[in-house]
Structure 1
Amino acid sequence: MPAPLPIPRPEDLEHTPLDDAQGLSLGVLLCAVGLTFLSHLGLVTGQTAGLALILSYVTGLSFGAVFFVVNLPFYWVAYRKLGLEFTLKSIGCVTALSLSTEILPLGFRIETLNPALGAVIFGAATGLGLLAVFRHGGSLGGLGVIALIVQDKTGFKAGYVQILFDLVLFAVAALLFPLSIVAYSLLGALVLNGVIAFNHNKRRYIAT
């Protein structure tokens, strides 16, 4: 019989500052790429990013600026409920995402993109990006903070919390945009939340 695996020490399971830096950076980059695809198609999404996108379309302001401002009220909640480290990481991630969504479109051009494919790419990339951010102790603010609090307190998965919020947000979007836009947007949101719901589980991921 093979020898049993050694029991890891707690200190061996913790993320180092370098681990967190690369994980959070990669997560933000994936989310920025996904949102770049989404905004190119004129689609919307759920959560705080979806609210910011709708406001940016309606007002003409840039998504990055609106996203940054919309998240400001949630930082106090994050600090009170989830601690200073989580709050600082979230502020850093939100700021980096706001800047990245402004810069990325300057670096490449999307000429042809099927809306359904673009929605799936958005959902997969952004879902994986959020997983990386969550697993390294941060968030992209807003509803992500509330969803993580609900999951920690009740066991109700963060992805499901976001799906419920998304249903309300998409009901509002249906009043403002063509139904084809809402349908493709809903596809992307379902892929995104499915990635989180099936993969974000602290018991499966022992490093913190």
Structure 2
Amino acid sequence: MMQGRLQSAAGPARPVQVEPHTLFDDVYGIAVGVLFVVMGVLLLQAAGLITGGVAGISLLVSYLSGYSVGLLFMLINLPFFLFGYLFMGARFTVKSLAGSVLIMAMLKLIPSGLVIGHVHPMVAALGGGTFCGMGILALARHGAGVGGTGIVTLWLQKRYAINAGRTQVAIDAVILLAALAMVKPQLVGWSSLSAIAMSSMVMAWHRPGRYFGN
């Protein structure tokens, strides 16, 4: 069980016992995180943008190959799940795998009930990146990841206290530079905004001591 510290007016900070997440908390939190990620990806896809992480790689490969972004998301994630199992544990990997399967399924199902006719690239970049960032944050708070580079960044933060958001920015920069060879520079520019929006969410709120959950 994790502990926080509460500063009172009458004296120094004292430990605060915090209840761990229940099974319902985890299921609900992961489901909400998945919905955020899916909505973010759909906004980006509607504007022909990409973003960072595996979501961005999947979108980029989808544009080039025509394959389903959900299927690519799952396939690209497989080696990262092995990494997660070896270094983050079975519990984290099972939660992350369940979340990725849900993302793949919802990316397939939601477009049949939600059709985005037009979205300005700026709106898609800011909205899509922020939605993806909130989804990643929600999953991380419940001991899961969206897979891919997110697993690596969470491990680096857990093992070496390297901020996950900053690591993700560095990885995203490499992905976007690679996209310049395949996507119009203007779209890569908007995509960079989406990657910044996504990483900023994680950088701002996924810090030790900011959250007393388990």
Q: TM-score, normalised by structure 1?
A: 0.94
Cα RMSD (Å): 1.7
Could you tell me whether the CA contact under 8 Å between 2:46 and 2:118 is conserved in 1?
Answer: no
Correspondence for 1:16 = 22
Q: Which residue of 2 aligns with 1:200?
A: 206
Structure 1, residues 153-184: CA drift from partner, whole Å, max 9, x if none? Answer: 22111111111111111111011111111011
Say yes or no: does 1:147 pair with 2:153.
Answer: yes
Partner of 1:113: 119
Shift of 1:2: 7.7
Given that residues 51 and 129 in structure 2 are in contact (C-alpha distance below 8 angstroms), is that contact kept between their aligned partners in structure 1? no
- Is 1:123–2:129 an aligned residue pair? yes
**Match for residue 71 of structure 2?**
65
Find the partner of 1:180 among 172, 182, 186: 186
Cα separation, 2, equivalents of 1:194 and 1:69: 26
2:38: which partner in 1? 32
The equivalent position to 2:168 in structure 1, one of 157, 162, 170, is 162
- Give, in angstroms, the shift of residue 136 of structure 1: 0.3
Tell me by how many angstroms 1:111 deviates: 2.3
Amino acid at match of 1:74: F
Kindly indicate which of the two structures has a greater share of residues assigned to strand: 2
Post-superposition offset of 1:8: 4.2
Task: Give secondary structure in 1 for the equivalent of 2:201.
Answer: helix
Q: Specify which structure has the higher proportion of helix.
A: 1
Q: Which moved more, 1:103-112 or 1:193-202?
A: 103-112
After superposition, what is the alpha-carbon deviation per residue over 1:85-131, rounded to whole angstroms, capped at 9, x for unaligned?
A: 10000000011001111111111222231110111111111111111
The whole-number CA distance in structure 2 between the counterparts of 1:58 and 1:109 is 22
What residue is the counterpart of 1:100 in the other structure? 106
Return structure 1 stretches of 4+ with deviation > 2 angstroms: 1-9
Aligned-pair CA distance for 1:46: 1.1
Q: Is the 8 A contact 1:36 1:104 kept in 2?
A: no
Aligned-residue offset at 1:52 = 1.3
Aligned length: 206
Unaligned regions of 5+ residues in structure 2, if any? 1-7
> 1:87 matched to which residue of 2?
93
The question of whether the paired residues in 1 share the 8 Å contact of 2:38 and 2:103 is answered with yes
The one-letter amino acid of 1:83's match is G
Q: 2:160 corresponds to which letter in structure 1?
A: T
**Which residue pairs with 2:5 in the alignment?**
none
Q: 2:112 matched to 1:134?
A: no
1:147–1:161 Cα contact (<8 Å) kept: yes
Once residues 36 and 194 of structure 1 are traced to their aligned partners in structure 2, the CA distance between those partners, rounded to angstroms, is: 20
Paired-residue identity, %: 32
8 Å contact 2:46–2:119 — kept in the other structure?
Answer: no
Q: What is the CA-CA distance between 1:202 and the residue it aligns to?
A: 2.9
* Cα distance between partner residues in 2 of 1:198 and 1:48: 21
Output the CA distance in 2 between the equivalents of 1:140 and 1:77: 13
